[in-house]
Amino acid sequence: MSSTDFSSQNGAGGPPYANGPFQNPVVLQPPGPDYMAHQTPYNPMQAKGPLPPGPGLYNSGPYQPIPPVSSNQALPSQPMLKRPPMGPQHSMTPPQSASPNPGFRIPPAHATPPPASANNYQHAPAWQYGGTPPMGAPPSMGAPPPMAMPPLRPVGNHMTSSPSLATPQASSAEYRATPPVFHNAMQPLGPPTSLQGYTQQGHMPTPGNGAQVPNSFDHLEMGPKMAGPLPPQQPGPPTRHMGLSYPSLPPGYTNTSAPPTAATMQHPVQPSTQPYSHPQPYQQPSAGPAQLSPSLSGLSLQSQTPEALRVVNLLQERNLLPLGPVTPPTPCLPQDLQKINCHPEVFRSTLTSIPQTQSLLNKAKLPLGLLLHPFKDLSQLPVVTSSTIVRCRSCRTYINPFVTFLDQRRWKCNLCYRVNDVPEEFMYNPVSRSYGEPHKRPEVQNATLEFIAPSEYMLRPPQPAVYLIVLDVSHNAVETGYLDVVCQSLLENINALPGDSRTKIGFITFDSTIHFYNLQEGLSQPQMLIVSDIEDIFLPTPDSLLVNLNECKELVQDLLRSLPQMFGKTMETQCALGPALQAAFKLLSATGGRVSVFQTQLPSLGVGALKSREDPNQRASAKDIQHLSPATDFYKKLALDCSGQQVAVDLFLLSSQYCDLASLGCISRYSAGSVYYYPSYHQQHNPAGVECFQKDLKRYLTRKIGFEAVMRIRCSKGLSIHTFHGNFFVRSTDLLSLPNVNPDAGFAVQMSIEENLVDMQSVSFQAALLYTSSKGERRIRVHTMCLPVVNSLSDIFAGADVQAITCLLASMAVDRSVTASLSDARDAMTNASIDSLTSFRTSVLTIQQPGLLAPACLRLFPLYILALLKQKAFRTGTSTRLDDRVFAMCQLKYQPLAYVMLMIHPALYRVDDLTDEGALNVSERTIPQPRVQQLSVEKLSRDGAFLMDAGSVIYVWIGRNCNPNFLTQVLGLPNYAAVPLNMNMLPELDTAESQRTRAFIGWLREQRPFFPILHVIRDESPLKASFLQNMIEDRTESALSYYEFLLHIQQQVSK
Ligand SMILES: [Zn+2]
């Protein structure tokens, strides 16, 4: 496979951005006196007098074309950043090394690209949203390198070509290659399964009631391997009996006809699922286009959503933040449909009203896409065990709340509109325990639910949980002290690793050689096997390196206890990461599983060796950022090999030096792994970093995991999905291959409108995630979302979800930074806000008013865009380490929306005066809810203390004249001078103030799956600069203030 094959993976190489590089340097009017009035003396980076011209980025005077600046132009010298040596350089050259290290150069005068010429000041659209997707060349790179596998088959619409049942032909290798065939087995074969139940995740089944226990799968593992795809579902009466009862009724299914004994259940994510009570049995509550008309008729979106379209003059209204969290808009659907719709934390769209046509979407200049958090931890999840999973015969959509029942025996698919038969089993309603109420089945009552796939869906026994730990044990690694933490954490959590009696575990360590560990039962102690030929990696004893965790637990524990000392005195500085990964792949390729790699430096030996590409002198001054793309395709190719064998690689990078995350990260990105990054990790010097690593490891080791997963996103006919964001491999046009899936992974897709949706009242989207649980169950989690179709621009604007739009744009901008340039991506983001506000002004507003006008629902859009421009991933003019930047880009691409938003726009609270007023009550704890403040030093006051929640970091800034009560009662310190420069935890004091503050911070930390470091800082703290960099409304040396940015946008919008 040539390296060019890889370029279109994840859509990054596709042509989503049709308009090419955009040149639109900004020119500003000087801000008015109002702006200056709120300057405060707290920000050393702020101008004290009238706005000086920035260092070249923006011309604050009247418009004047700026000639290009030669990079050789003499400049005041910039201070060189001191950092540790980059480690030994080796003669080994990466296979496709990027440009050579440029060496030292005089930094160019401008931190951002200088304007080219006057005629470049014309505004042009930056992004063409949607458009015709590159269907001929989908953003996938085709099948991964064949690992003795047959060609992949697409999953949908090929039922007729499925091999007959009579010809079992599946090997386990084929199974891996064709997980989609699970979807095809509609008509169960073999003996009727007696397990038909309905249970609820997280609730103990009633003892003694076998029907409640989810399918045990023992019989699946013992049973013969099933044939390949099964023939299409045949209408007509089933040959099996109706199955057993659905014992415990989930609340929420308490239909009017349900027996009074029915328990009640909350919808997993919706606050409540009200029962439908319809007099006529087959009139499912207004699901599907045909039945939407009565509900929607007479509805005026304008009158329904006056607030969303309220015109806001951004130049006048200073404080636009809501008091609390920003809430997503509610789709304008009939109430009964909306109540049952998928929760926005799991599935949301950038536009909650879908335009009828692509041209209408183009006019709105807003991106159309979906954001998903498909495997999110849910406190309650309906789980269905059924021998028949009902799906559309044509497009394979799972039956869902938004289909239409034409009569008792037929349902109409809400994605392709095919009329399907209702299988006989589905006629039985487990909720009311009565016959003839298919529309009351749980599948039709829940937008999010999980199926336990019947045995007939299996081609091989579901894989066991397999964990392989790969540890860097070079001198550098040992010196950081991380090995102690990893081994200790594994020892503490060894019984909490998700899995069952089949769980396997193995270990590899590496420096200049690769070390394996024989842990076979019966050995008195672990046996270390060293392979020094890293050019041709082989497994010394293939059968004893991955062992059953239960059977060999003592040996595993022995190893974990001795590992940290084994390399304590090593002088080996070399690091052969590439060969170690090859060994890991070989070890896991037979089963699939998870590789956890701990790496502390730039790989220096063997395949995949890298050289430093970062020039610290150019961090702040580079005109554009180089080396955002990988230096070699080794890691990507290996990741695709891993993906083909259901192996995912998670990377933990602990380093104080440049490690080329842009190259290393590919191993996780394409194998659906995760990347963790701990810059400046050191056991002694960075205790906060150690705590963060420990907490993250605990979550990582114990969180839910799904193996050998695939995810497909379907949407109603007329819509098409064309670009994916996240960590995965695109197997076919819309099938994501996820060797592992974890509950903290987010995904995004872009969409376009292929056919006019003129006759549609609504459209639907369905994400189906098929995976093997750590207990060896094959499960399918299905999320379905329904959204209205609208035909006016004002309705589109009224439904705009500014957070989803921002997150999607951030992902698109990461791709653009890599495929084009950082400055191009920055321009595109700026123009996204200009274009949409221009469209609003010219096409929606009927009365023109002065000012910068935005609909209320998009009032935060320019602020978020400015925040993105100042975010670590995209900022310029500020010293940003390349790995830090690349890691921020990774996070923007694969974190769920809630965490991405905190990275982009941190939340600032005043915390020295917390009260219980309006507090939340969470499991008998009182959590204060201070209001969110604007991110400006103007909001800080010297007599207070402020908490900034930036996602992975929480700062508590202490004012110089801070309320003494806070200092003594919360910090336990006598005065301001006693505040240490580096303080990472609050003492547990027995005061009301301390309890409130710790409760609030604890609650913030609970909201996310990673552990944010706490930094208590004061004016003299070295971290103050990082804190102030998040004050995105303020001007910095190299970037505009919010007000200046608004003026720039206004100037462009008014053109
Ligand atoms: Zn269909």
Sort 953 into a burial class: Cβ within 10 Å, 0-12 / 13-18 / 19+. buried
Nearest-CA neighbor of 288 among 714, 719, 761, 718?
761
Is the pLDDT at 721 greater than 90, yes or no? yes
805-858 pLDDT, tens digit per residue, is: 999 999 999 999 999 999 999 999 999 999 999 999 999 988 878 899 999 999
Find the farthest-apart pair of alpha carbons in the chain and give their distance in angstroms, rounded.
86
Token output for 787: 């959204």
Token output for 404: 């239409």
Ligand 1 centroid–CA 768 distance in Å is 14
pLDDT confidence of residue 457: 64
Mean per-residue pLDDT for 357-368?
97
Bridge partner residues of 932 (DSSP): 909
| Euclidean distance between CA atoms 14 and 722, whole angstroms | 9
Ligand 1 centroid–CA 716 distance in Å is 8
pLDDT confidence of residue 875: 93
Bridge partner residues of 947 (DSSP): 909, 956
| Euclidean distance between CA atoms 85 and 535, whole angstroms | 27
Ligand 1 centroid–CA 417 distance in Å is 6
Token output for 1015: 């930094």
DSSP per position, 580-614: HHHHHHHHHTTT-EEEEEEE-S---SSTT------
Ligand 1 centroid–CA 765 distance in Å is 11
518-535 pLDDT, tens digit per residue, is: 999 889 999 999 999 999
pLDDT confidence of residue 129: 59
746-756 pLDDT, tens digit per residue, is: 999 999 999 99
Ligand 1 centroid–CA 880 distance in Å is 49
Is the pLDDT at 63 greater than 50, yes or no? no
Reduce the DSSP state of residue 164 to 3 states and report it. coil
Ligand 1 centroid–CA 715 distance in Å is 10
Q: What percent of the chain has pLDDT over 90?
A: 62
Ligand 1 centroid–CA 717 distance in Å is 9
Mean per-residue pLDDT for 363-385?
95
pLDDT confidence of residue 490: 98
Ligand 1 centroid–CA 56 distance in Å is 56
179 or 732: which leads in pLDDT: 732
Q: Which residues of 611-641 are buried (b: 16+ CB within 10 A; e: fewer)?
A: bbbbbbbbbbbbbbbbbbebbbbbbbbbbbb
Ligand 1 centroid–CA 413 distance in Å is 5
| CA within 13 Å, CB half, 101 | 13
Nearest-CA neighbor of 326 among 864, 917, 726?
864
897 or 215: which leads in pLDDT: 897
Is the pLDDT at 567 greater than 90, yes or no? yes
Mean per-residue pLDDT for 317-333?
91
| Euclidean distance between CA atoms 181 and 80, whole angstroms | 58
Ligand 1 centroid–CA 786 distance in Å is 14
Ligand 1 centroid–CA 634 distance in Å is 40
Is the pLDDT at 109 greater than 50, yes or no? no
Ligand 1 centroid–CA 712 distance in Å is 14
Residue 625 — pLDDT band, cuts 50, 70, 90?
confident
Ligand 1 centroid–CA 784 distance in Å is 13
70-87 pLDDT, tens digit per residue, is: 333 333 333 333 333 333
Nearest-CA neighbor of 623 among 1026, 16, 1044, 102?
102
568-593 pLDDT, tens digit per residue, is: 999 999 999 999 999 999 999 999 99
Bridge partner residues of 1003 (DSSP): none
615 or 111: which leads in pLDDT: 615
Reduce the DSSP state of residue 527 to 3 states and report it. strand
Is the pLDDT at 782 greater than 70, yes or no? yes
58 Cβ neighbours under 8 A, 6+ residues apart: 26, 27, 28, 1040, 1044, 1048
1002 Cβ neighbours under 8 A, 6+ residues apart: none
- Of 216-220, 264-268, 480-484, 757-761, the one with minimum mean pLDDT is 216-220
277-317 pLDDT, tens digit per residue, is: 333 333 344 433 334 333 333 344 444 446 899 999 999 99
Residue 436 — pLDDT band, cuts 50, 70, 90?
confident
Cβ-defined contacts of 678-681 (< 8 Å, 24+): 678/652, 678/653, 678/654, 679/655, 679/881, 679/883, 679/884, 680/655, 680/656, 681/480, 681/482, 681/600, 681/654, 681/655, 681/656
Ligand 1 centroid–CA 284 distance in Å is 18
Is the pLDDT at 392 greater than 80, yes or no? yes
* Helix or strand (DSSP H, E) at 994: helix 992-1006
| Euclidean distance between CA atoms 624 and 820, whole angstroms | 10
Residue 439 — pLDDT band, cuts 50, 70, 90?
confident
Bridge partner residues of 736 (DSSP): 711, 730
Ligand 1 centroid–CA 447 distance in Å is 16
Ligand 1 centroid–CA 782 distance in Å is 15
682 Cβ neighbours under 8 A, 6+ residues apart: 479, 480, 481, 656, 689
Residue 94 — pLDDT band, cuts 50, 70, 90?
very low
Token output for 409: 């025996």
pLDDT confidence of residue 974: 96
Ligand 1 centroid–CA 898 distance in Å is 32
- Range among 43-57, 248-262, 973-987 with highest mean pLDDT value: 973-987
- Of 4-13, 379-388, 790-799, 986-995, the one with minimum mean pLDDT is 4-13
Ligand 1 centroid–CA 714 distance in Å is 10
pLDDT confidence of residue 619: 75
898-911 pLDDT, tens digit per residue, is: 999 999 999 999 99
Ligand 1 centroid–CA 485 distance in Å is 51
Q: Which residue has the tokens 């965490």?
A: 899
| Euclidean distance between CA atoms 351 and 343, whole angstroms | 15
pLDDT confidence of residue 342: 97
DSSP per position, 712-773: EEEE-TTEEEEEEESSSEEEETTEEEEEEE-TT--EEEEEEE-S--TT-SEEEEEEEEEEEE
1009-1047 pLDDT, tens digit per residue, is: 999 999 999 988 999 999 999 999 999 888 999 999 999
Residue 388 — pLDDT band, cuts 50, 70, 90?
confident
Categorise residue 87: left if φ over 0, alpha if ψ from -120 to 50, beta otherwise: left
Mean per-residue pLDDT for 383-394?
91
Ligand 1 centroid–CA 155 distance in Å is 13
Ligand 1 centroid–CA 374 distance in Å is 21
Average pLDDT over the chain, rounded to whole?
76
Ligand 1 centroid–CA 305 distance in Å is 32
719-725/747-753 β-pairing: antiparallel
pLDDT confidence of residue 801: 98
1055 or 584: which leads in pLDDT: 584
Q: What count of other Cβ atoms lies within 10 Å of the Cβ of residue 88?
A: 10
Q: What count of other Cβ atoms lies within 10 Å of the Cβ of residue 955?
A: 24
| Euclidean distance between CA atoms 948 and 933, whole angstroms | 9
Ligand 1 centroid–CA 568 distance in Å is 61
Ligand 1 centroid–CA 48 distance in Å is 63
Q: Do the Cβ atoms of 1019 and 694 come closer than 8 Å?
A: no
pLDDT confidence of residue 208: 31
Ligand 1 centroid–CA 460 distance in Å is 28
pLDDT confidence of residue 430: 74
| Euclidean distance between CA atoms 268 and 448, whole angstroms | 7
Ligand 1 centroid–CA 289 distance in Å is 14
Ligand 1 centroid–CA 415 distance in Å is 5
- Of 162-171, 439-448, 709-718, the one with minimum mean pLDDT is 162-171
Q: Do the Cβ atoms of 676 and 745 come closer than 8 Å?
A: no
Ligand 1 centroid–CA 416 distance in Å is 4
Is the pLDDT at 869 greater than 90, yes or no? yes
Bridge partner residues of 383 (DSSP): 199, 450
Reduce the DSSP state of residue 1006 to 3 states and report it. helix
Q: Do the Cβ atoms of 1036 and 43 come closer than 8 Å?
A: no
Nearest-CA neighbor of 1032 among 898, 936, 902, 908?
936
* Helix or strand (DSSP H, E) at 834: helix 822-839
Bridge partner residues of 593 (DSSP): 647
CA 1030, 1034, 1040, 1042 dihedral sign is: positive
Ligand 1 centroid–CA 683 distance in Å is 56
Encoded amino acid at 315, one letter: L
CA-based end-to-end distance of the chain: 49
Ligand 1 centroid–CA 179 distance in Å is 20
632-663 pLDDT, tens digit per residue, is: 999 999 999 999 999 999 999 999 899 999 99
| Euclidean distance between CA atoms 625 and 881, whole angstroms | 11
Ligand 1 centroid–CA 347 distance in Å is 20
592-616 pLDDT, tens digit per residue, is: 999 999 999 999 999 999 999 988 7
pLDDT confidence of residue 201: 43
Mean per-residue pLDDT for 759-768?
95
| CA within 13 Å, CB half, 735 | 20
Ligand 1 centroid–CA 454 distance in Å is 21
272 or 974: which leads in pLDDT: 974
Ligand 1 centroid–CA 394 distance in Å is 5
655-672 pLDDT, tens digit per residue, is: 989 999 999 999 999 999
Nearest-CA neighbor of 760 among 731, 703, 719?
719
Q: What count of other Cβ atoms lies within 10 Å of the Cβ of residue 137?
A: 14
| Euclidean distance between CA atoms 387 and 1028, whole angstroms | 58
pLDDT confidence of residue 832: 97
pLDDT confidence of residue 409: 92
Q: What count of other Cβ atoms lies within 10 Å of the Cβ of residue 294?
A: 10
Tell me the residue length of the chain: 1055
DSSP per position, 978-1040: GS-SSB------SSHHHHHHHHHHHHHHHTSSS-PEEEEE-TT-TTHHHHHHT-TTS--SSS-
Residue 128 — pLDDT band, cuts 50, 70, 90?
low
Ligand 1 centroid–CA 643 distance in Å is 29
Ligand 1 centroid–CA 1019 distance in Å is 61
pLDDT confidence of residue 432: 76
* Helix or strand (DSSP H, E) at 900: helix 897-904
pLDDT confidence of residue 456: 65
492 Cβ neighbours under 8 A, 6+ residues apart: 698
Q: Do the Cβ atoms of 1039 and 57 come closer than 8 Å?
A: yes
Q: Do the Cβ atoms of 833 and 1049 come closer than 8 Å?
A: yes
